[in-house]
Amino acid sequence: MTLNLDPAKTAGQASPPTERVIAVMEMLGADPGRQFTLAEISRGLGISRATGHAILATLVAHEWVTRDPQLARYAWGPAIAGLAKPADLFRDELAELAAATGTQVYLARRDASSLVIIDVAGETLTAPRIGRGTKTPFVAPFGRDYVAWSTPEAQQAWLEAIGQPSPALRKRISAVLTETRRRGFVVERLTREYLRVYSALQALSGDGEVDAITAQLARAFADLSVIDVLPGELSAGATHSIASVSAPITTADAVVTMSVTAAPFATLDASAISGLGQRVCATAAAIGDRLNRYGDQA
């Protein structure tokens, strides 16, 4: 790797010394498991040994870089992991989605048996304010954006955690998961039951455990509600009260670990639902790209 400072990028706005520090960190970060000698770093970046030594000594002092005292080799440091949490990495994407949709947007992460809100942006005046740390139990019918791409066995375990579902519910959930995979997003209908059950489930998930009461409440909601919105229900002129639209965020190996949600809490027609879903999916894809670039450090 040779350090070439682009005059068009650095003139009047960037600092060459800072560019050299960034180049050192990018070189080490490209292969965080490897240790580099001062000569390898200096030669690879086209900087003098004195400059390289000064940069590395400062980075070591702040634990951005580690130095093996016996081998005199340098590697990616532990302090870097604390600098880039998802709540910070994805702030721009969340703010852009909130501004484009005029809704509150939040980023959630699966944590064992709970879905935890780790960042929020924007505001929906008609919706209850969701804050960081809010938890929802990962129990059917919630978390569809996480299980739609799972194995049939994982989907069955998720569904049957609330008890043996009725044939009607099993059929509905199967159709919904198939449609979720096709279009890429989940739609949560806005009903009185949704508001009551969602609030109750948040309260019950404080300790992160899905107990019998949580499972029974989720099952009652699933049995009494129409889950999601299927294509046949999006006919021209039809409108639906929509609480939220969510899309999964996948890792490089196609595992869903997070999701992004826009919460309009409004009545939308088919076109508006589809448009909102596409925007949320685009944001999820952008966050996924950044996540896979920098690694999951939450």
Q: Is 107 helix (H, G, I), strand (E, B) or coil?
A: strand
45-49, 117-121, 143-147, 203-207: least confidently modelled range: 203-207
Mean pLDDT of the chain: 87
pLDDT for residue 1 is more than 50? no
Average confidence (pLDDT) over 182-198: 93
Q: What is the pLDDT of residues 141-164, one digit of tens each?
A: 999 999 999 999 999 999 998 988
Q: What is the pLDDT of residues 41-59, one digit of tens each?
A: 999 999 999 999 999 999 9
Q: Contact, 223 vs 169, CB < 8 A?
A: yes
The encoded tokens of residue 114 equal 């709970």
DSSP for 26-54 reads: HHHHTSTT--EEHHHHHHHHT--HHHHHH
The encoded tokens of residue 240 equal 């639906």
Element counts in the chain: helices (H) and strands (E): 12, 10
Find the domain containing 40 and state its range: 7-82
Q: What is the pLDDT of residues 272-281, one digit of tens each?
A: 999 999 999 9
DSSP for residue 72: T
Q: Within a domain: residue 162?
A: yes
- Count other C-beta atoms under 10 Å from residue 58's C-beta: 12
Residue 53 CA neighbour count, 13 Å, CB half:
5
For residue 194, the surrounding DSSP H or E stretch is: helix 192-204
Give the end of a domain, one of 82, 117, 133.
Answer: 82
Work out how many domains the chain is built from and give that number: 2
Residues 11 and 95 in one domain: no
Give the end of a domain, one of 31, 59, 82.
Answer: 82
Residues 270 and 126 in one domain: yes
Whose tokens are 């049995």? That residue is 223
Give the end of a domain, one of 15, 47, 82.
Answer: 82
- pLDDT score at 211: 74
- pLDDT score at 132: 86
Of 89, 82, 73, residue with least CA distance to 41:
73
For residue 155, the surrounding DSSP H or E stretch is: helix 152-160
Confidence class for position 205, pLDDT limits 50, 70, 90? low
DSSP for residue 144: H
- pLDDT score at 210: 67
Which has the higher per-residue pLDDT, 202 or 88? 202
Strand-pairing partners, residue 189, are 242
pLDDT for residue 241 is more than 90? yes
pLDDT for residue 122 is more than 90? yes
Residues 119 and 259 in one domain: yes
